[in-house]
Amino acid sequence: MNKLEHIGIAVKNLDESNRVFAKLLGKPHYKIEAVESEGVRTSFFDVGGIKIELLEATRPDSAIAKFIEKRGEGLHHLAFDADPIENKMNELKIEGFTLLADKPFPGADNKEVVFMHPKTTNHVLIELCQEKR
């Protein structure tokens, strides 16, 4: 992995949580972006080059809605810059990790992303990402 790119946090109400994190971090979010295909609305904060991504579900069948239903709000995933992502995916498969998709798909913040099964990563949901080319 090249670096920790962002930390994803599942929230029930993005606008409320934006206010909480702006107070906590001492600066506002720098963007809000909906990812229709994933059923989420996200916001981003920059903390010394590492981003905090807040994620709110926009429909009941989205992964974030299901996560909150099961586990409540809170830490959702760690995202690593894994450019070039297809190479990293192959390496990780060979090492015995399980990926949740065969190909990267469009995520927020101009990224191609793929998630790893948390059962193979000590129950931490890991996202691999790279900048869209």
Binding site for Zn ion (CB under 5 A): 8, 53, 79, 127
Q: How far is the CB of 6 from Zn ion (least distance, A)?
A: 6
- By beta-carbon proximity to Zn ion, the closer residue of 48 and 96 is 48
Dihedral pair phi/psi, residue 53, rounded to 5°: -110, 115
Q: How far is the CB of 122 from Zn ion (least distance, A)?
A: 18
What span, in angstroms and rounded, lies between the C-alpha atoms of 35 and 96?
Answer: 30
Token reading at 84: 């070039």
- By beta-carbon proximity to Zn ion, the closer residue of 112 and 127 is 127
- By beta-carbon proximity to Zn ion, the closer residue of 58 and 94 is 58
Helix (H, G, I), strand (E, B) or coil at 131: strand
Q: How far is the CB of 29 from Zn ion (least distance, A)?
A: 14
Cα 131-106-81 angle, rounded to 5 deg? 35
